[in-house]
Structure 1
Amino acid sequence: MARRKNTFWNRNKFKLSGLILILPIYFLYEQLQPPVFPDAWEEKSVGPFEVAIQPLNNDAPYAHHDDWVKDFAAYVNDGEVSNIRQGYVSIGEEPVALEALQKDDVGILHGSELLQHVHAIAPQQYQPEHRVWVTLQTWDGNVHKASWQLPGNWLK
């Protein structure tokens, strides 16, 4: 008959299996807690569309591949989303030119008719003169722009 050594590991390894059974309950609880998003910003006219944007958090921009981005939800409250050929969101003193935006997929609005999502092109640090710019192009080639001021708690 084989004798088992009375080591710390042999006396307590069953506790590890109990921990592995309990951990999924913790992670399930975390996933069932809905996130709290900041309020949506005021609705603005962007050409024939009424658009409201909502930041998904109040954190600083994060690095995404070679760019700095900030996540937003965009609601097209008046106007058909299908009438938008392309839409972009950027943060800066001036909106990024449409020709420059078309070269990459960063900053492009995507989603459904109910909600659009965007990884807005952002600087690494915000300045007081920066604004959030929405640029929409319709199928007839017209380009429409609108901007929102950055909230004070985003400026350091």
Structure 2
Amino acid sequence: MSKAVTAPPASALSRFWHKWRFHINILLLLVPLGFMPKYFADASLFRGDSGLGERDIGTVQVGPWSLQLAELRNEAPRPDGPAGHMKSFNAALCQACIDEVKATYLRIGKPRSLRAAGVIFFGTPYRMGATLPIPERTKADAELWITLEGWDGSMHQASIPLSQASPATVAWLAQRGAK
């Protein structure tokens, strides 16, 4: 019977790898586990299991209809390249007005006409989303205007103060004004 003789690893890197490879592999498994709570919280938010968004604004009455409005994330607007800074909102129409509302729009400042009504909400009436551009010169006392267009051609508008809709955006605007 012959004995197999194994030679020790030649380089320092090879010795390090042979000694620590098990521990490094365990680390590769454990590091992603640290990010799992954030992943599951985001998945729950996007599925709608934890409500419309991180910060519920409340019910807004727009003419004969109403909708539930929420900020997707309770944070300052995010930069989106040449488009500027954007803020995401979610909405859900009331049960009675789902069949009557054709389109829902969101805008900072009063719209001049339906053609300038703002960004349109997309998705199902139970969970619609819109990404609103925040203009550079937005005042802290600005208003968020919601426009609902009915299938019968009617148009109803309502506004809420931006400070009520997104305090994080108002704080961000105040910080940018101080620069």
What is the TM-score when the length of structure 1 is the normalising length?
Answer: 0.75
Q: What is the Cα deviation at residue 126 of structure 1?
A: 4.0
* Uncovered stretches (5+) of structure 2, i.e. residues with no partner: 1-5, 46-52, 175-179
Q: Which has the higher helix share?
A: 2
The alpha-carbon distance between structure 1 residues 96 and 15, as it changes in their structure 2 partners (threshold 3 A), is: farther
Percent of residue pairs identical: 23
Q: State whether residues 140 and 163 of structure 2, in contact with CA within 8 Å, keep that contact through their aligned partners in structure 1.
A: no
Which fold has the larger relative contact order, with Cα–Cα distance below 8 Å and residues 6 or more apart in sequence?
Answer: 1
**What's 2:50 paired with?**
none
Alignment of 1:3-152 (within 5 A): 3-8=8-13, 9-10=16-17, 11-33=19-41, 37-41=54-58, 43-64=59-80, 66-77=83-94, 79-91=96-108, 93-95=109-111, 97-100=113-116, 107-124=119-136, 126-151=138-163
Deviations 1:53-87 (A, max 9, x none): 11123322223462532111213225322322221
Give the aligned length.
150
C-alpha separation in 2, matches of 1:129 and 1:28: 39
C-alpha separation in 2, matches of 1:54 and 1:110: 14
| RMSD between aligned residues | 2.9
The alpha-carbon distance between structure 1 residues 29 and 45, as it changes in their structure 2 partners (threshold 3 A), is: closer
Q: State whether residues 61 and 124 of structure 1, in contact with CA within 8 Å, keep that contact through their aligned partners in structure 2.
A: no
Q: State whether residues 48 and 79 of structure 1, in contact with CA within 8 Å, keep that contact through their aligned partners in structure 2.
A: no
- Secondary structure in 2 matching 1:136: strand
C-alpha separation in 2, matches of 1:74 and 1:111: 10
Q: Which structure is larger by alpha-carbon Rg, 1 or 2?
A: 2
C-alpha separation in 2, matches of 1:121 and 1:98: 18
* Uncovered stretches (5+) of structure 1, i.e. residues with no partner: none
Q: State whether residues 145 and 158 of structure 2, in contact with CA within 8 Å, keep that contact through their aligned partners in structure 1.
A: yes
C-alpha separation in 1, matches of 2:158 and 2:77: 21
C-alpha separation in 1, matches of 2:79 and 2:158: 25
Deviations 1:75-103 (A, max 9, x none): 32253223222211112x323643245xx
The alpha-carbon distance between structure 1 residues 120 and 113, as it changes in their structure 2 partners (threshold 3 A), is: same
Amino acid at match of 1:84: V
Could you list the structure 1 runs, at least 4 aligned residues long, displaced by more than 4 angstroms after superposition.
Answer: 33-36
What is the TM-score when the length of structure 2 is the normalising length?
Answer: 0.67
